[in-house]
Each structure stands twice: as structure tokens, then as C-alpha cells.
Structure 1
Amino acid sequence: MDSAPKTGKRSAVTAISPAPSGVAREHFAAEFTFETDCSDVHDALSKGADFVLLDVRSPALFAEGHIPGAINLPHGKIIASKMAEWSQDTVFVTYCAGPHCNGAARGALRLANLYRPVKIMAGGLTGWMDEGFELAKGEAGR
């Protein structure tokens, strides 16, 4: 059933047609190779994570509140020597303050440039809190 109004004018939403379903399927399936969500991270952490969770914000912001189990490594400090303690196939998940922050992407790019497997946790810290998950406080930087 088509419930769209027949005004003859297209909205900003439909002015550019959606991609064909095959293209859309490939695009959305690929997103899961680049990101995960707060709920999946929370679930994995509660069962024993098979990844390293990196909070890429500043040490001061990390100390104010972070995801329990996260390691603080600001994105600008992600360099080969800092990553040497983990095996080359270790999966990293980066997060920052939230959707308004590009720190997670900056950290993920630095990790990818070091040939490390990486995903971003969509939503960041604000998404984590929106889910009602607890924060830890204090320092645990690198």
C-alpha cells in the first residue's frame, strides 16, 4: 500500500531516489564490518570480550567516566610502539564521546593504518549511557 501523498513534489527525503535493493544490501551489510553497537559491546564485555575496547578521548575525560573494561589511549597516541603489546590480529573497538565526536573514526583510521583489525562502537559514550549502562571512573590510561 502506497501511503505517500501525491502532490507531485518530492520531499528532500525522496528527491534522490533510494539505491537499488542489491546495492543497499551490500552497503548495509558492509557497515557491520566497520562498526558495532553499544548493546553488542556490553553483552560481549559481560561474557569475556574477544577484543580490546579503546576509549580514544583525553585522560581527563576518561577519568570522569568511561566504559568499564576500556583502556584509555587518545587517538593521537595510537602509534606502533603503543600497540606492540597486542598481537597483530587483536581486534580493537574504538569509541569517543558520541555521534558528535569524530575521535573514534580518527582512532580507527590510525589503527587501520597500522594494519590492525578495528571497528567503531556506534553511539560512543552517549549511546552507552542512553542504553542505561554503567560507567566507571578513575584512570587507566596508556
Structure 2
Amino acid sequence: MPSLVREIPAAPSAIALMHFSNRLTFETDCSDVHGSQQAGEVDFVLVDVRGPLAFERGHVPGAINIPGRLITADGLAAYSKATLFVVYCAGPHCNGANKAAVKLAALGYPVKEMIGGVTGWLDEGFELSVAVQQPVSTVIGCEC
């Protein structure tokens, strides 16, 4: 009897290569964002899609705040269609980043999700920029 892992066979290598390569075109992680920032190679716009209060309580350094519900063509008119947006939300329990990514892609912008969001950022041991001192449990909230 196979293990629970092998109960459903793994995909052939060629299909796995295509699948995992494709995933990387849709997402990046906290470590890559942080590493790019540290190297001064920020060729993307980092967007926190949570509400303004959550953003003020703590956000990834360098991020701008555009709550997902406010992503519109008019609001993004200053950005070239070649601008890569990297979106994040509270964490893996929130789909606000996915909703924002859908809106950005529908408007014709390249977009990636920073997987893990604020939760992932903190899990990596990275610091948040905080405008209002709050306990971490109140920083992560979504409001999206």
C-alpha cells in the first residue's frame, strides 16, 4: 500500500517543470522582495492592498497603499503599462492580493503576488515600517 504522498502519482517531470515554472511567473516571495530591496534593485512597485488603518499599523518597507477595492484605471494612470506591480495582503489566509492581482491584470499591468503577505514577511524575521505602534496581532488585519 503506498503512502498518502504517493496515493496520487506525481506528475511526469516535464509537466512538473512547466507547472512550477509557470507558478514563478505569478508569484514571488518575501525573501526575494527583501533581497531586491537590500541590493537596490527595486524594479517593481510593491503594493499593500489592505486598508489604510492596517497599512499605518505596519507594512513592508517601500510599499505603497492601494486598497484592492480602490484599484482603478484612473488611479493607476500615472503608471506605464510596463510597470510590474507586486501585491500583498495580510497573509495566506487572505485573498485580497489575488483580487488585486485580477484587477491589475484586467487593466493590462504585469503583476505578481508576494506570497505570505505580512505574515510571511514577519515569519522571515523582516521588520515592518510602522506609523502607529501596535501589537503584531493587530498589524496583520486585512480590511480588504
| TM bracket (short chain) | 0.7 to 0.9
The answer to whether the aligner puts 1:87 opposite 2:80 as a matched pair is yes
* Structure 1 residue 12: Cα displacement: 3.5
- AA at the equivalent of 1:80: A
- Provide the residue aligned with 1:50 in structure 2: 43
- AA at the equivalent of 2:35: D
| Aligned equivalents of 1:138, 1:85: Cα separation in 2 | 26
- AA at the equivalent of 2:10: P
**In the TM superposition, what are the counterparts of 1:1-142 in structure 2 within 5 Å?**
8=1, 10-46=2-38, 47-138=40-131
Kindly provide the CA deviation profile for residues 26-82 of structure 1, in whole angstroms up to 9, marking residues without a partner as x.
000111100001011011122141000000001111111001110000111111001
CA RMSD of aligned residues (A): 1.3
* Structure 1 residue 17: Cα displacement: 1.2
Q: How many residue pairs end up in the alignment?
A: 131
- AA at the equivalent of 2:31: S
Q: SS of the counterpart of 1:93?
A: strand
| Aligned equivalents of 1:122, 1:20: Cα separation in 2 | 26
| Aligned equivalents of 2:52, 2:6: Cα separation in 1 | 44
Q: SS of the counterpart of 2:28?
A: strand
Structure 1 unmatched ranges of 5 or more: 1-7
The alignment's TM-score, normalised by the length of structure 2, stands at: 0.87
The alignment's TM-score, normalised by the length of structure 1, stands at: 0.88
Structure 2 unmatched ranges of 5 or more: 133-144
Q: SS of the counterpart of 1:120?
A: strand
- AA at the equivalent of 1:92: F
* Structure 1 residue 15: Cα displacement: 2.0
